[in-house]
Structure 1
Amino acid sequence: MEIIFKNVTHSYEANSPLEGIGLNDVSLAIHDKKFTAIVGKTGSGKSTLVRHINALIKPTSGTIKVGDREITPETNNKNLKSLRKNVGMVFQFPESQLFEDTVEKDIMFGPMNFGMSESDAKESAKKMIKLVGLGEEYLDKSPFDLSGGQMRRVAIAGVLASNPETIILDEPTAGLDPVGRKEIMDLFKNLQKQGRTIILITHNMDDVANYAEEMVVIHDAKVMAVGKPKDIFNDKELLTNDILTLPRSAVFAQKLSKRDFSFPQLPITISELTAEIKQQVHGD
């Protein structure tokens, strides 16, 4: 599903002394079946943006088109199930949303809430628990007896069980160790390759460099840049104005530039950096 924001503004506590701007006249296209990263400093408007996509919040002005569905300031909360089934959201620390007495029931909750039969929801739970890297034996366990990383996987399985076309990830690897983070990110990259649209909010620029095809930079409630990560991480204006930080490979390349290395463009992944160094040292 193509997702189109057109002149979207969102005001918190509108028409009150506490009014604040969450989004300011944002126009943006998020392309179907792509892996798009949305980055920006804390409070820039990233989470506000994505919460409009499944109408968790509504625009103060402007419109959002999600496939054939249009969200406006007048959109009410009726008949939103189909939209929310097709747009799954994995919140930061999603394990805090677990509440059932077994893993199976937690994974089944979403699909059954969207109208799936109990038997089909059970089958979906079996498939999803394997997809997130856990065995079927976990289905009978209490989610509260699991480790933090296992709970995260169960919560993700619950979102995937409804088979959403678009998956929004709000800092999905926060608190995970490097191995767990890579496993989760690889999972979502594989889902994108299978035809899902993935939207990632993150402060981890290495994840952006390694996984995203497209990138959106938000600053002070406005979209500042849209494009491929390689191009945006080489945008000197964004870097000079402290709007964007770099992946570790690019930071290391900057340091090497002071020691007889030359990079026409900053490499943003380890593989790119390694290839550049090898070329300059050995001429291969």
Structure 2
Amino acid sequence: MEITFEHVTHSYDANSPLANLGLNDVSLTIADKKFTAIVGQTGSGKSTLVRHINALLKPTSGTINVGGRVIDSETNNKNLKSLRKKVGMVFQFPESQLFEETVEKDIMFGPMNFGFDASDAKKAANEMIQLVGLDESYLDKSPFDLSGGQMRRVAIAGVLASRPETIILDEPTAGLDPVGRHEIMELFKELQNQGRTIILITHNMDDVANYADEMAVMNQGKLVAQGLPSVVFNNQQLIKDDLLTLPKSAQFAQALSQKGFKFEKLPITIDELGTEIKQQVNGDNSE
């Protein structure tokens, strides 16, 4: 489902001497069934932005339209269950939210809270534990007997079990090793391929380059850029102003530029970089 922000401002501690803007007149469209990355420095407004999507925060002014459901400053907390069922959020270090005595009960908690009966919730737990790469034997274990990476997967399974249409990921791979990060990102890309909308908050620009269809850059509560990653990462002003870090492939391409290589635009993935180098080396050999 499409998500649209129209002139959204959010003030923390509004009407007090401590008031400060978390969002400042943000207008943004997040496309349906796309993989969108939200990036920016710490404190730029990324988390504040996405917490408006399922009304964990309400705008001070402006509106958010989530698949036809409008959220504004007057939205109350009644009747939000249907919205929050459609929009699942995986918080940073989601394993800290585990609390049940077994993995199965932890995964079942979300679906049952949204009205699933016990049989359907149990079925969802069985399906989701396998989807996140763990076998059924984990369902009977205590989540606190698992490794950190396994706990992360269980927490993600708990969000997925309610079958949300949109999944918000707030630094979902923080603290994972490269193999674990790759497996988790591949899972979310597969979920997008199955028809979900994926929204990723991350500081890892390689994940943005490799997985995102679109990206948005936040700075001091404002949206400063939005578009295809290949375009945004070639916005030299953002780099100059230190509002954006380049993926490793683009950084390497910049280093190669100092040694005579010429790039019409910076390649942002390893495959793009390899293709560019191969073409230039073969071109040199043919002269």
Summarize the alignment of residues 45-64 of structure 1 with structure 2, pairs less than 5 Å apart.
45-64=45-64
Distance across 2 between alignment mates of 1:19 and 1:218: 20
Superposition TM-score, scaled by structure 1 size: 0.99
Q: Secondary structure of the equivalent of 2:29? A: strand
Tell me how far 1:68 sits from its aligned partner.
1.5
Distance across 1 between alignment mates of 2:144 and 2:194: 31
Q: What are the superposed Cα offsets for residues 193-237 of structure 1, whole Å, 9 maximum, x if unpaired?
A: 110000000000000000000000001100001100000000011
Q: Which amino acid counterpart does residue 261 of structure 1 have in structure 2?
A: F
Which residue in the other structure is 2:230 paired with? 230
Q: Which amino acid counterpart does residue 168 of structure 2 have in structure 1?
A: I
CA RMSD of aligned residues (A): 0.7
Summarize the alignment of residues 7-86 of structure 1 with structure 2, pairs less than 5 Å apart.
7-86=7-86
Q: Which amino acid counterpart does residue 272 of structure 2 have in structure 1?
A: E
Distance across 2 between alignment mates of 1:258 and 1:67: 48
Which residue in the other structure is 2:97 paired with? 97
Q: Does 1:165 align with 2:168?
A: no
Tell me how far 1:118 sits from its aligned partner.
0.2
Summarize the alignment of residues 172-191 of structure 1 with structure 2, pairs less than 5 Å apart.
172-191=172-191
Q: What are the superposed Cα offsets for residues 88-138 of structure 1, whole Å, 9 maximum, x if unpaired?
A: 000000000000000000000000000000000000000000000000000
Superposition TM-score, scaled by structure 2 size: 0.98
Q: Secondary structure of the equivalent of 1:15? A: coil
Q: Which amino acid counterpart does residue 281 of structure 2 have in structure 1?
A: V
* Runs of 5+ consecutive residues of structure 1 not aligned to the other structure: none
Distance across 2 between alignment mates of 1:79 and 1:161: 21
Percent pairwise identity:
76
Distance across 2 between alignment mates of 1:18 and 1:99: 35
Q: Which amino acid counterpart does residue 78 of structure 1 have in structure 2?
A: K
Tell me how far 1:4 sits from its aligned partner.
0.5
* Runs of 5+ consecutive residues of structure 2 not aligned to the other structure: none
Distance across 2 between alignment mates of 1:144 and 1:84: 27
Q: Does 1:202 align with 2:202?
A: yes
Tell me how far 1:25 sits from its aligned partner.
0.5
Q: What are the superposed Cα offsets for residues 36-65 of structure 1, whole Å, 9 maximum, x if unpaired?
A: 000000000000000000000100011000
Q: Secondary structure of the equivalent of 1:16? A: coil
Distance across 1 between alignment mates of 2:269 and 2:23: 31
Distance across 2 between alignment mates of 1:183 and 1:31: 24
Distance across 2 between alignment mates of 1:176 and 1:239: 27
Tell me how far 1:282 sits from its aligned partner.
1.7
